[in-house]
A and B are shown apart, each in its own frame.
Chain A
Amino acid sequence: DIQMTQSPSSLSASVGDRVAITCRTSPSISSSLNWYQQKPGKAPKLLIYAASSLQSGVPSRFSGSGSGTDFTLTISSLQPEDFATYYCQQSYSAPPWTFGQGTKVEF
């Protein structure tokens, strides 16, 4: 199975901050990396797919980059509604599809 290492596991930030979350995979997965946001008690929401494509309706302050084994989710200016947990997930080749451990963004 493809291994996912997401960091940090949590971070403290303030409104307006630029935030970056990283995800490393083993082995390489080309650009088959997706990012989700989950708020407490809610279902996850797809933010970014194929490493850098913004899902419809997602604010442009969210962006994704990377390929191969190293990927980054960046929030350019953190808003109050962005405090949540973020997960990376690989969709390379056939299942099993695997997720990172999650990054909790808190005040």
Chain B
Amino acid sequence: EVQLVESGGGLVKPGGSLRLSCAASGFTFSSYSMNWLRQAPGKGLEWVSSMSSSSTYIYYADSVKGRFTISRDNAKNSLYLQMNSLRVEDTAVYYCARSDIGGVFAYWGQGTLVTVSS
């Protein structure tokens, strides 16, 4: 069974940093592209970042480019999102998701809440 479990969310002040993790199990992690998406409270879904299976291809939404860094450790079956210079508008539930086909988010974690507030 595919499982994705996010962690690392919490309350942080504007300008602060946070590192999210996503632990994967139930599939060959190193074979799949992985993604981060987010959903602000009461709002719709927003794609944040993607990384190919071998880390060759990395993409970011314009809204986070230069502030967020995606990474993965295939030996640890884990995906990460380093978030720096956080803004109030980054407040959201952050989801980790697996792509079976490019840009198709077939499996999602349960999400972790990031709150940016003073």
* Chain A interface residues (CB < 8 Å from chain B): 32, 34, 36, 38, 42-46, 49-50, 55, 87, 89-92, 94-102
A interface footprint on B44-79 (CB within 8 Å = 1, 0 otherwise): 111100100000000101100000000000000000
Interface SS of B by simple majority: strand
Q: Does B32 contact A (CB under 8 A)?
A: no
Q: Are B111 and A43 in contact (CB under 8 A)?
A: yes
Interface SS of A by simple majority: loop
Q: Which of A43, A96, A102 contacts B110 (CB 8 A)?
A: A43
Number of residues on chain B facing chain A (CB within 8 A): 20
Residues on A with beta carbons closer than 8 Å to the beta carbon of B107: 46
Q: List 18 A-B contacts (CB under 8 A).
A: A38-B45, A43-B95, A43-B108, A43-B109, A44-B45, A89-B103, A91-B101, A91-B103, A94-B59, A95-B61, A96-B61, A97-B103, A98-B47, A99-B44, A99-B46, A99-B47, A100-B44, A102-B45
Residues on A with beta carbons closer than 8 Å to the beta carbon of B110: 42-43
